[in-house]
A and B are shown apart, each in its own frame.
Chain A
């Protein structure tokens, strides 16, 4: 399974943002408030840092995460989706009144593990 995937709606939103802003990049965030979301930024604004890893591409946009955070989260897979409502972060899609979400992709044994 690809470590990074995106829903069709997310891909569409990414294409729109690229038309408007040029090259974009996703940074998986952490911490308070919108901490578990992936932030979409222009590549020029926040290029991957020396301690980041690029996990893959979603719709031709690199998906970046802090290396230690990735290890501590147990090297999960990420599925990027988009939902209505602006987040409070600086993620670019906020101006369109939507926000990206990082989900853990559904796994085969989901049914029996439902809370």
Chain B
């Protein structure tokens, strides 16, 4: 009998044998170099795997945002003057540098955020690379449009960079969400000041280390510190031409308010409570498609549920409920939790103690509301060195859509399950929410899939799939899930001004005066 060899657990950053070098402390990345925070303060950075600090990062103030903006503005004119081919070359060189260091960065990302290395190796980092290459390609194919007003008058439309933009990154995909924002901004000829999330300030600095030589100084700047201090200083700054934010709704409102005060565009992505809908015909055969659909249900635990589009409401046709859930729960119970650096781990710890406590609180709220606990619901006993980590079991609650656990984003490995009678009820439940970011529809009936897809009020409806994030597909929210889109070449428009040259080739005056 063949034996399957257990894959080796990666050593933690800084430990002997780890490909990830670790310094005691990390400065801000400004103007192509490492700049100490103005007030000289650093903050300990924890790994959620153990809850213990492993390095320190800059604890910056508004003055450091100004330094980063100085560097970005100094680089603005020369970067804007580069040809699309030159910018594409820089993005491709960044992609190559990340690819050469893929394993190192995947481990760093895992350690900073807690997501399992099997995800960072197979999803986060390959997608970072692909987004950089996609926008390198997209910018090469950009062209303006010409409107022929009449035989003597033409409107030439050009894309011009906005200038210097501010970008605020969430903690759930510290590298991938940064790539989503940085790649189109740079491709379109902008310089950027990036503020990473407070719980995950470090992996992006490892990325900066590997791309520092290929990005011109000042084009990409990264400043760490509290949102209350530097996020606000960046978002409200007169010297940015656009602000992009991913996070919660109140800060989203603030961001849009600052943008209104400075009269600049903003993009906000503010979360969701995405329905994942399983019609009866998924169980018409016991085949690969059913297996895929069952996995589609379990994808709520992807990235330990810390995903804005997590399929956190599962809507199951009542005629298949028992049979479907039996298989789904079996698959949920097979999830292996533990050290995120173990390639066999399927679910790592939540990002912080706060998130862990919140998730636990929501499970309790759900039970108080009368939801039924089908599996999970506790902190697992992970033991040993991981004792202080922020682990929570993959959890399934059964209830009804008016419960709070169906209405508010838990941002953890908790799915709330309910049933529906027919297509009309499925659609009504799907849309009975404040949010509209993602949705999943699973059926063997193509017409129904199309009807549902068009009927659901959400920016992304995955049809017979879930949690795919290709660069060439637009992503963003309806309703309070935010304003604007990310990904797809349309992002080049979102990071550009439109210049219209209106030219008359007529020699004759108008005749008014």
Q: Which residues of A contact B (CB under 8 A)?
A: 27-37, 39, 41, 45-46, 49, 66, 68-69, 72-74, 76, 83, 85-95, 97, 99, 101, 103-104, 107, 109-110, 113-115
User: B82: shortest Cβ distance to chain A, in Å?
Assistant: 33
Assess A91 versus B228: contact at CB under 8 Å? Given A32-B170, A83-B354, A101-B358.
yes
How many angstroms between the C-alpha atoms of A85 and B271 in the bound complex? 22
User: B59: shortest Cβ distance to chain A, in Å?
Assistant: 9
How many angstroms between the C-alpha atoms of A76 and B171 in the bound complex? 28
Are the CB atoms of A85 and B409 closer together than 8 Å? no
User: B372: shortest Cβ distance to chain A, in Å?
Assistant: 11
User: A13: shortest Cβ distance to chain B, in Å?
Assistant: 13
B residues 252-280 in Cβ contact with A at 8 Å: 252-254, 257, 269-272
Residues of B within 8 A of A72 (CB): 402, 404, 407-408, 433-434
Are the CB atoms of B434 and A30 closer together than 8 Å? yes
Interface string of B342-359 (1 = CB under 8 A from A): 000000000011100110
User: A2: shortest Cβ distance to chain B, in Å?
Assistant: 18
How many angstroms between the C-alpha atoms of A95 and B407 in the bound complex? 31
Are the CB atoms of A88 and B171 closer together than 8 Å? yes
Closest CB pairs A-B (n = 7): A31-B271, A32-B271, A94-B228, A115-B377, A29-B250, A94-B226, A35-B248
Residues of A within 8 A of B364 (CB): 104, 110, 113-115
Residues of B within 8 A of A109 (CB): 368
Are the CB atoms of B409 and A32 closer together than 8 Å? yes
B251 touches A (CB below 8 Å): yes
How many angstroms between the C-alpha atoms of A83 and B354 in the bound complex? 8
Are the CB atoms of B251 and A39 closer together than 8 Å? yes
Residues of B within 8 A of A49 (CB): 253
Interface string of B216-249 (1 = CB under 8 A from A): 0000000000111101100100000000001111
Residue in B254, B357, B367 whose CB lies within 8 Å of A101: B357
User: B399: shortest Cβ distance to chain A, in Å?
Assistant: 12
How many angstroms between the C-alpha atoms of A99 and B248 in the bound complex? 14
How many angstroms between the C-alpha atoms of A44 and B482 in the bound complex? 23
Interface string of B316-351 (1 = CB under 8 A from A): 000000000000000000000000000000000000
B380 touches A (CB below 8 Å): no
Are the CB atoms of A27 and B226 closer together than 8 Å? no
How many angstroms between the C-alpha atoms of A95 and B231 in the bound complex? 11
B140 touches A (CB below 8 Å): no
Residues of A within 8 A of B271 (CB): 30-33, 35
How many angstroms between the C-alpha atoms of A32 and B481 in the bound complex? 9
Q: Which residues of B contact A (CB under 8 A)?
A: 43, 170-172, 197-199, 226-229, 231-232, 235, 246-254, 257, 269-272, 308, 352-354, 357-358, 361-365, 367-369, 373, 377-378, 402-404, 407-411, 433-435, 480-481
Chain B residue nearest to A74 in the complex (CB): B404
How many angstroms between the C-alpha atoms of A110 and B365 in the bound complex? 10
How many angstroms between the C-alpha atoms of A97 and B42 in the bound complex? 12
Assess A89 versus B251: contact at CB under 8 Å? Given A32-B272, A115-B367, A115-B378.
yes
Residue in A41, A94, A114 whose CB lies within 8 Å of B198: A94
Are the CB atoms of A89 and B247 closer together than 8 Å? yes
Residues of A within 8 A of B481 (CB): 31
Are the CB atoms of A68 and B434 closer together than 8 Å? yes
User: B419: shortest Cβ distance to chain A, in Å?
Assistant: 20
Are the CB atoms of B249 and A88 closer together than 8 Å? no
User: B171: shortest Cβ distance to chain A, in Å?
Assistant: 6
Most buried by B among A28, A35, A101: A35
How many angstroms between the C-alpha atoms of A104 and B364 in the bound complex? 9
Most buried by A among B232, B246, B354, B361: B354
Q: Is the interface of B mostly helix, strand, loop or mixed?
A: mixed
How many angstroms between the C-alpha atoms of A83 and B363 in the bound complex? 20
Residues of A within 8 A of B253 (CB): 27, 46, 49
How many angstroms between the C-alpha atoms of A27 and B250 in the bound complex? 7
Are the CB atoms of B368 and A32 closer together than 8 Å? no
Are the CB atoms of B170 and A103 closer together than 8 Å? no
User: B282: shortest Cβ distance to chain A, in Å?
Assistant: 29
Residues of A within 8 A of B410 (CB): 36
How many angstroms between the C-alpha atoms of A35 and B408 in the bound complex? 9
User: B411: shortest Cβ distance to chain A, in Å?
Assistant: 6
How many angstroms between the C-alpha atoms of A49 and B257 in the bound complex? 12
Residues of A within 8 A of B248 (CB): 29-35, 37, 39, 89
How many angstroms between the C-alpha atoms of A66 and B363 in the bound complex? 23
Residue in B249, B254, B353 whose CB lies within 8 Å of A30: B249
Residues of B within 8 A of A86 (CB): 43, 198, 226-228
How many angstroms between the C-alpha atoms of A85 and B407 in the bound complex? 27
How many angstroms between the C-alpha atoms of A51 and B156 in the bound complex? 43
Pick 22 A–B contacts, CB within 8 A, sort by A: A29-B251, A30-B271, A31-B409, A31-B480, A32-B270, A33-B246, A33-B248, A34-B354, A35-B409, A46-B254, A49-B253, A73-B404, A83-B357, A85-B352, A86-B228, A88-B197, A90-B235, A91-B227, A92-B228, A107-B368, A110-B368, A115-B377
How many angstroms between the C-alpha atoms of A62 and B365 in the bound complex? 24
Chain B residue nearest to A35 in the complex (CB): B248
Residues of B within 8 A of A89 (CB): 227-228, 231, 247-248, 250-251
Are the CB atoms of A76 and B247 closer together than 8 Å? no
User: A102: shortest Cβ distance to chain B, in Å?
Assistant: 9
Chain A residue nearest to B229 in the complex (CB): A95
